[in-house]
Amino acid sequence: MLTNLFKRFWALLVKFFIFILTRLEVNDYYLVLNGNHEHIMKRLHNDEKPFAKPAQKALLNRGN
């Protein structure tokens, strides 16, 4: 019973972290698409955490 409870708790924890990571990628992507130039430049020049992959692709395609 304790093992089953732990498995359920672990599954919920994993789903929560996957949800959080997914939201961070989506937020970066929409930040780039909506063109918040000030925040983008601050992120690029201050060596903060890098943009998520979809956001990096959108940044590259933005100039074309």
Per DSSP, the residues of 1-64 read -HHHHHHHHHHHHHHHHHHHHHHHHHHHHHHHHHT-HHHHHHHHHTT-SPPPHHHHHHHHHHT-
pLDDT above 70: percentage of residues in the chain: 36
The answer to whether residue 10 sits within a structural domain is: no
Report the pLDDT value the prediction gives residue 25, as an integer from 0 to 100: 63
Domain that holds residue 26: 17-62
The answer to whether residue 4 sits within a structural domain is: no
The answer to whether residue 48 sits within a structural domain is: yes
The span from the CA of 51 to the CA of 19, in Å, is 17
The answer to whether residue 21 sits within a structural domain is: yes
In this prediction, residue 9 has a pLDDT band, given cuts at 50, 70 and 90, of very high
Report the pLDDT value the prediction gives residue 61, as an integer from 0 to 100: 73
The answer to whether residue 9 sits within a structural domain is: no
Q: How many domains does the chain have?
A: 1
Amino acid letter at 41?
M
Report the pLDDT value the prediction gives residue 6, as an integer from 0 to 100: 92
The answer to whether residue 35 sits within a structural domain is: yes
The answer to whether residue 30 sits within a structural domain is: yes
The answer to whether residue 3 sits within a structural domain is: no
The predicted-structure confidence for 27-53, as pLDDT tens digits, reads as follows 666 666 676 666 666 666 666 666 666
